[in-house]
Structure 1
Amino acid sequence: MHDLTGFQRDLLYVIAGLEEPHGLAIKEELEEYYEKEIHHGRLYPNLDTLVSKGLVEKGEQDRRTNKYIMTRRGRREIEARSDWESRYLGAVEN
């Protein structure tokens, strides 16, 4: 996960947290978080990067909609990142 951008990490977190992660749902979640429009030219190339790195699988939900599913590797990467963050965030809380 160390080689991902912050935006790509956020994409992973959103995909992991959505019940039915598809392009528009992912886009809407990120727009709410970032409080600005996320353009397709930013969203889809970054999703494709996650697919090419084996963190996410891309499939068809229907003829017009792609769905994105976290791979086992993607989940392991998120868990490792969460553990790493917890080491430092725990120090802040004390």
Structure 2
Amino acid sequence: MYDLTGFQRDLLYVIAGFDDPHGLAIKDELEDYYESEIHHGRLYPNLDTLVEKGIVEKGEKDRRTNVYTLTRRGHREIEVRREWEQQYLETAEAASA
């Protein structure tokens, strides 16, 4: 996950939090979080990058709507990232105690 942008990591977390979200649901969730508009020209190329990297799988809900799910690799990437973050959070908590 070290080679992903922050936006791409946020996409992963949003996809992990929903059951087969479609692009507009992902977009809406990120707009709420960022408190600004996410343009299609930013969203879909980044989703495609995650698909190309094998972290996200793109499926078809119907002819007009794609859905996105994490692959096994995507789940592992999130777990490894959380473990990496946790070691620093534990250090910071110990230092402030």
- Scaled by the length of structure 2, the TM-score of the pair is 0.94
Deviation readout 1:2-28 (Å, 9 max, x if unpaired): 000000000000000112311011001
- Taking the aligned partners of 2:64 and 2:54, their CA distance within structure 1 comes to 23
Q: How many residues align?
A: 94
Moved over 4 A (4+): none
- Taking the aligned partners of 1:68 and 1:79, their CA distance within structure 2 comes to 19
Unaligned runs of 5+ in 1: none
The percentage of aligned residue pairs carrying the same residue is 76
Deviation readout 1:6-52 (Å, 9 max, x if unpaired): 00000000000112311011001100000000000000000000000
Provide the residue aligned with 1:33 in structure 2: 33
1:61-76 matches, cutoff 5 A:
61-76=61-76
SS in 2 for 1:37: coil
- The code of the aligned residue for 2:37 comes to E
Unaligned runs of 5+ in 2: none
- The code of the aligned residue for 1:46 comes to N
1:1-94 matches, cutoff 5 A:
1-94=1-94
- Taking the aligned partners of 2:62 and 2:54, their CA distance within structure 1 comes to 22
SS in 2 for 1:28: helix
- Scaled by the length of structure 1, the TM-score of the pair is 0.97
Deviation at 1:93, TM superposition (A): 2.0
